[in-house]
A and B are shown apart, each in its own frame.
Chain A
């Protein structure tokens, strides 16, 4: 089928838990694969995305590489979606926001218990950390938000099927209440 909907996914400062939850749509993945083609994604190992319809972003933005990846997605995806608590609010990684970055790095690489050969890594291949972890909508324009930690498989399914079938996505209350 030539005109499949192209979907790209990535995890920035996330734990891949949202991706795991996405995979929990189980056998519905086959149904999805009939109309969807995956571009850049941990599922495909494609390194860069090109001309996609939907981009799903898990995790917040903690370093310079996250910014570049996020911008690549924004440039190449018609619809960009913040998936899960970390993408929406910064989540768990953002807990470091209350501690100055200098203290974090000192603890991890210089003064911490059990640190051998203390040295701040400085290889130019390594992305630099931002002072704070940011939700992705503070860096680029985001079109939709899927709440949850992680969003359930049914949330992914409902959201994607709505979009694919040309409806404005909407999540019923049962899918977004958590107690």
Chain B
């Protein structure tokens, strides 16, 4: 092992900023991060061992104790649940004789849940040693269990298990483009970088991650900074449950995305770029590396690009299972090899980003659009969409519809139009923008997707009348409690309290004051949290409480108050150990019951 760790450190030039990538290799080799590896790495990188441990503990894909040689993770997104995930997980656990959350005694396999893996249109999905599994069903699970029990290496597994489809079902301005490698750069350099920035400004392009900051303004600010060492970062940490468009864009439009980054670099004067790819998309890594290599060979990446004196290269950094790293400052922390804890803003990344230098962070789709605008000019984009939302939006559509997949629409499209196109009937409501977004009911389908009305990063999950909204709220609330980074108390404690209170109501232990208490708690978490995660974690509850107050009330019991746990059950251990079963050794669940005794 000493040699292996030494080799990893050497290959990464002993740079602590590359800690995440090194830990990924160690985890992949040993199926955990051994104490000895931490000690050795701390010495080699000259950082405290506690710093490494904090990083290991922060990311879901790193472990301090051994996982199985086959580490199976099943996606826990609401869309996977709608496709029967729970039953399948039980079946899988039985087949493999391993409990969820455990490692089998022989150490061969471990099984657990993981947050949405971005395969919502082809779930139930999972990961085996980081590689995506799709469309799981009983026969595939039989196959997987057999392969694992035979200890077949992953390379020998049938490729249909790993089949990931694009499912592009409606293309528009961006997805229809015939893109020629180098075209955007050529146009941009010919036009001049200032003029190209002006075109992007004219296009009205706003950030596609959901927040919608004007792209040209962000690039302009960055280029005006005093410091000349600048960076371009592409945020491909697509973690919002129900979103998977970036996976498709990187699978089929990566060249154009990289070119968008390169145009940005030429405009702001950056020499280094990063693609921060979520760990769940490991299956794209080699392919993307090949494209980068090809771009270098073709003179559109690397030194002296297109003989115009532009030097720029792109490095791919893989995440390790942390939703919060989609927040740009947390992403930068993660790029620096640290736990992904959001920074205080301001200063914003455009002034102090990666290593404290001016940095542009944009979504995959933003760079894709920017490359198109560089070729076709600002009007090409601005002629489409609404007044404040120019161009098109690429949507990830999943849930109850006959044709889930990728759809591109001009901004301003109504929800109803989308529902008609994807074959959704008897719809109860739609979760727009993922758990952190908004739930809209079937009374609001004339609303429009646009920054003026429903802003979205692209997640569009459809629920039909057979679904229980509280199941969704329950799933989303647990998601946020799991993904809270733990930095600030309102979010760390608040999301756990929200989870507890929702559980209490959903499980039928709620009473009159409990919904009011839940709502107060929501406001507290929303208003006092440090970053967007906490500020939006209560949205699933708030947006559904507003629309379906009766649904929550109907779960409440009429008694005055009831504990959220089984009170008598909590005495079981003591009863057994004291060998008692008299009346005094039991407790009634509610006060009313106890009064009747």
Contacts and interface: CB of A to CB of B under 8 A. Distances in A.
A75 B564 CA distance: 19
11 contacts: A64-B585, A71-B591, A120-B577, A122-B578, A124-B580, A124-B582, A127-B584, A128-B571, A128-B584, A130-B574, A138-B565
Interface string A125-154: 011111110100011110000000000000
Chain B's interface size range is 20 to 34
Among A75, A102, A128, the one with the most B-chain Cβ atoms within 10 Å of its Cβ is A128
B571 A64 contact: yes
Contacts of A134: 563
Nearest to B576: A102
A101 interface: yes
Contacts of A131: 570-574
A74 interface: yes
Interface string B502-519: 000000000101000000
B578 A64 contact: no
Interface in A90-121: 100-102, 105, 120-121
Contact of B575 (A75, A100, A128): A128
A140 B561 contact: yes
Query: Of residues A64, A68, A74, A105, which shows the largest number of chain B Cβ atoms within 10 Å of its Cβ?
Result: A64
B587 A67 contact: yes
B580 A75 contact: no
Given A71-B594, A75-B595, A141-B560, A101 B584 contact: no
B567 interface: yes
A128 B580 contact: yes
A64 B587 contact: yes
Nearest to A140: B561
B186 to A, nearest CB: 61
Nearest to B569: A131
B226 interface: no
Interface string A62-91: 001001100100110000000000000000
B591 A75 contact: yes
Contacts of A64: 571, 584-585, 587
A102 B511 CA distance: 32
Interface residues of A, number: 26
B420 interface: no
A126 B579 CA distance: 13
Residue with the highest number of chain B CB atoms closer than 10 Å, among A74, A126, A141? A141
Contacts of B572: 131
A78 to B, nearest CB: 13
B221 to A, nearest CB: 38
A105 B577 contact: yes
A130 B574 CA distance: 7
B591 A105 contact: no
B98 to A, nearest CB: 22
Contacts of B565: 138
A125 to B, nearest CB: 8
Given A64-B587, A128-B585, A131-B573, A122 B580 contact: yes
Nearest to B500: A138
Nearest to A143: B513
Nearest to A123: B578
Contacts of B574: 101, 105, 128-131
Contact of A140 (B579, B580, B584, B591): B591
A108 to B, nearest CB: 11
B571 A130 contact: yes
B591 to A, nearest CB: 5
A120 B585 CA distance: 15
B561 A141 contact: yes
B513 A139 contact: no
Interface string B240-274: 00000000000000000000000000000000000
A67 B584 CA distance: 12
Contacts of B585: 64, 124, 128
B113 to A, nearest CB: 23
Given A64-B584, A101-B574, 20 more contacts: A67-B567, A67-B587, A68-B594, A71-B591, A75-B591, A75-B595, A101-B573, A102-B577, A105-B574, A120-B577, A120-B578, A122-B580, A124-B582, A127-B584, A128-B571, A128-B578, A131-B570, A132-B570, A134-B563, A141-B560
